[in-house]
Amino acid sequence: MTSSPDLAAVAALIGDRTRAKILLALLDGGPMAASSLAERAKASAPLASAHLRKLVAGGLLAVQPHGRQRFYRLSGQAVADAIEALLLVAPAVPARSYRDVAENAALRRGRMCHDHIGGRTGVALTRGLLDGRFLDCRGTTLHVTRLGSRAFGRLEIDVAELARHRRPLTRACVDWSEQDHHLGGSLGATIASEFFRRGWLHTSEASRVVSVSERGREVLVENFQLHTCGRG
């Protein structure tokens, strides 16, 4: 007999505010130590550890041992997708300080969505790639055009090689703050990692916020004629 998914169990895991903060902190795709997650969740070390154990047992987090430390990450893209989908319907939390207002504005401007770029920056990038015919949208599916393959190749991003991976090459990921879509999949992740490697994209360990550097904006203009990505 096939059992049905226990949605209530997952809802109970995510429904705790401390655990929700931990999941949001990990939404940028990078593994984090328990101490860093405790700080981000504003929880004591013992309390954070207890919540981490529950999230691992529930299958939402995976553990990566590194020497004496244990690093945690989301267990997969499906978990990141589920969190992003819930953010679309979640009510806004009232800001309690100017810092909260500034952080929220920065997240909406540009952030990591698991391992690719979201927010206005991610949406502007995706729109620009579509408008410039570097990507083609058929229904809800994104495809890389020949023009796009050549343009990405100039940035040493091999689209043909990425297409051989098990992960989908492109994915239209719903953006909770813009109520639009941004580019996910292996191409979206590779664009982000390549931009980080070259210093064209910046972030900090304490936040999911990302910003495009001046040189990064120049590269987007030179290769894709994108003049608005990363501004405002």
The residues near 209 (Cβ < 8 Å, ≥ 6 apart) are 103, 106, 107, 109, 110, 111, 203
Q: How far is CA 132 from the centre of its chain?
A: 24
Q: Which of 20-34, 47-61, 210-224 has the highest mean pLDDT?
A: 47-61
Both structure tokens of 214:
């001046």
Q: DSSP strand E in 75-131: where?
A: 111-113, 116-118
Both structure tokens of 92:
């806004």
Give the tens place of pLDDT for each residue, 110-156: 998 888 999 999 999 999 999 999 999 987 789 999 999 999 999 99
pLDDT at residue 230 in the model: 57
What mean pLDDT is predicted for residues 1-20? 87
pLDDT band at 4 (very low <50, low <70, confident <90, very high): confident
Q: Which of 17-26, 91-100, 221-230 has the highest mean pLDDT?
A: 17-26
* Boundaries of every domain in the chain: 7-75, 102-224
Beta bridge partners of 147: none
Q: How far is CA 105 from the centre of its chain?
A: 16
pLDDT at 1 over 60: no
CATH architecture of 7-75: Orthogonal Bundle (1.10)
Total count of residues recorded for the chain: 232
Both structure tokens of 36:
């860093």
Give the position of tokens 């207002």. Answer: 101
What mean pLDDT is predicted for residues 2-29? 88
pLDDT at 83 over 70: yes
What mean pLDDT is predicted for residues 48-56? 96
Both structure tokens of 96:
């309690």
